[in-house]
Amino acid sequence: MKIAAIATIADSVPLHGENRVIASLGLNALRSTVNPGLKALLELAHLDGRPLTSEEVAFRIAPRINAAGRMDIAADVIDLFTLKDPTRAREVAARLDKLNGDRQEEERRIVDAIEKRITEDSALRDSFCMVIDGEGWHRGVIGITATRVVERYGRPAIVISRDGEEAHGSGRSISVFHLLNALESCPTLFTRYGGHAHAVGFSLPSSRVAEFRASVEAYARARLKVDDFEPVLNVDAELALDSITPELFAALQKLEPFGAGNHEPVFCARAARLSAPMKILKEKHVRMKLSPSQANGGNAGWRRALTYNSMGWRLAERAQREKLLPGDLLDIAFNLGHNDHPEFGGIELSLRDFKSLEKASAHGTT
């Protein structure tokens, strides 16, 4: 049940019916893991001894498991779950952790190269379907780098790794653009291809990459508008920061597990005040301390004095570009989470987006 729950969440299977039951029972059972390999993996990720959330499985367990297939061979995962010797299991778990670190470093290297290319190439920057190729990029990582490009630019993106005369590509798309149909508009270019509306993979001769780029760009321009590239974040409810309580958080936990088909509620709060200098973590994340608005609605009294820690995953560059300072007011979109750190744990906001009220040029929709 535990392994089935991890697989269900990692594969983004819709959490309906029996899938939801499998995920829920498996997540709760993970607090008492006896399999040596799984136990070692949870210990290494600092997730042992308690029930897990679907988010923790998706972002802290699944990447370590997937790293074997992306960076090396998947046999290590089979070994991990079949070994009976705890010492050997810890060794394999450590190897998977290192492979995941290697994957992150390779992803960072490719993303940096892509960012440089986009900055220098105005035609690429203005394309309706971004096709970026590079020599020797790791094939196991190009899919996730395509995802990063889509997240940043809001456009379909295809990343191609050239290896001599052969090239391999992986693409990700936005909701309004069927990426597989785009490939099927030029099928003779490929030696093989497949996928679905939002993700594709393919191989083709390196000599035909330029032809492919022109073909898919023409296809995209015939079907997309500039407005399609504007990111939209759907918000479930407005929630003033001084209305957040432990009781509300406990009620939301009853809706777990979250994932495909059962999304985590997204809230918005208006005019939240940045109450301390923001902190940049690992060059890509930002931590902020936010307090309730003193001007708009909400509860009176002591709850107005509360300050909430918030984490903006991959929002550091935007926050730095906005030059946010203590006292600035932000409209924010967020999920409610919990930090288990013994010193500064408690309810924590996971920022999905923000808009500075002092700077009308803020990017994104809340």
Determine the pLDDT at residue 364. Answer: 45
- Quick check: 296 pLDDT over 80? no
Per-residue model confidence (pLDDT) at position 95 = 94
- CATH number, position 24: 3.90.1640.30
Determine the residue type at 71.
Answer: M
**What six digits make up the tokens of 33?**
């893991």
- Residue 329 within any structural domain of the chain: yes
Question: For residues 342 and 347, what is the distance between their CA atoms, to the nearest angstrom?
Answer: 13
pLDDT of the residue at 363 = 44
Specify whether 210 is located in the same domain as 294: no
263 and 161 in a common domain:
no
CATH code at 323?
A: 2.40.50.460
Q: Are residues 31 and 94 in the same domain?
A: yes
pLDDT at 283: 86
Based on the domain organization, do 342 and 244 belong to the same domain? yes
Query: Which pLDDT value is given to residue 297?
Result: 52
- pLDDT at residue 94 in the model: 95
Cβ-contact 274, 326 below 8 angstroms? yes
Mean pLDDT of 214-225: 98
Average pLDDT over every residue of 263-289: 94
Instruction: Tell me if 285 is assigned to some domain.
Output: yes
**Mean model confidence pLDDT for the chain:** 91
If one counts the domains in the chain, the total is 3
Is there a domain that residue 319 lies in?
Answer: yes
111 within domain boundaries: no
- Residues of the chain with pLDDT > 70, as a percent, come to 95
Handedness of CA 103, 287, 301, 270 (dihedral sign): negative
pLDDT level of residue 77 (50, 70, 90 thresholds): very high
Domain identity same for 189 and 90: no
pTM: 0.81
For residue 302, pLDDT over 80 is answered with no
> What confidence score (pLDDT) does residue 300 get?
54
Confidence label for 251 from pLDDT (cuts 50, 70 and 90): very high
The string of pLDDT tens digits covering residues 99-144 is 999 999 999 999 999 999 999 999 999 999 999 999 999 999 999 9
Per-residue H/E/C for 21-60: HHHHHHHHHHHHCCCHHHHHHHHHCCCCCCCCCHHHHHHH
Q: With contact defined as beta carbons under 8 Å apart, do 269 and 297 qualify?
A: no
Does residue 277 sit within a domain?
yes
Phi-psi region of 283 (alpha: psi -120 to 50; beta: other; left: phi over 0): left
110 occurs within a structural domain: no
Q: At what angle do helices 86-120 and 62-71 cross, to 10 degrees?
A: 70
Helix (H, G, I), strand (E, B) or coil at 162: strand
| pLDDT tens digit sequence for 103-114 | 999 999 999 999
Segment (H or E) for 96:
helix 86-120
Residues 263, 318: one domain? yes
Domain end call among 180, 204, 229: 229
Asked whether the predicted pLDDT for residue 299 surpasses 70, the reply is no
Whole domain around residue 257: which residue ranges?
Answer: 237-356
Please indicate, yes or no, whether residues 217 and 297 belong to a single structural domain of this protein. no
Same domain for 217 and 252, yes or no, is no
Q: Quick one: pLDDT at residue 282?
A: 87
Query: With contact defined as beta carbons under 8 Å apart, do 172 and 150 qualify?
Result: yes
Look at 2-16, 190-204, 233-247, 297-311 and tell me which has the smallest mean pLDDT. 297-311
Task: Tell me how far apart the 2 most distant CA atoms of the chain are, in Å.
Answer: 69
Tell me 148's DSSP state. Answer: H
Contacts of 39 (CB under 8 A, 6+ apart): 33, 48, 86, 89
Neighbouring residues of 297: CB distance < 8 A, sequence distance ≥ 6: 240
Higher pLDDT, 358 or 223: 223
Q: What is the pLDDT of residue 365?
A: 43
Domain boundary among 229, 255, 289: 229
304 and 258, same structural domain? yes
Domain boundary among 199, 229, 259: 229
Residues 241 and 344 in one domain: yes
Does some domain include residue 361?
no
* Residue 286, phi then psi, degrees to nearest 5: -135, 135
For residue 294, is pLDDT > 60? yes
Q: What pLDDT sits at residue 31?
A: 83
Residue 184 lies in a domain: yes
pLDDT at 32: 86
pLDDT of the residue at 51:
77
178 and 262 together in one domain: no
Cα(9)–Cα(23) distance, integer angstroms:
7
What CATH number does residue 223 fall under? 3.10.310.30
Specify whether 203 is located in the same domain as 144. yes
350-365 pLDDT, tens digit each: 999 999 986 544 444 4
CB atoms < 10 A from the CB of 145, how many?
26
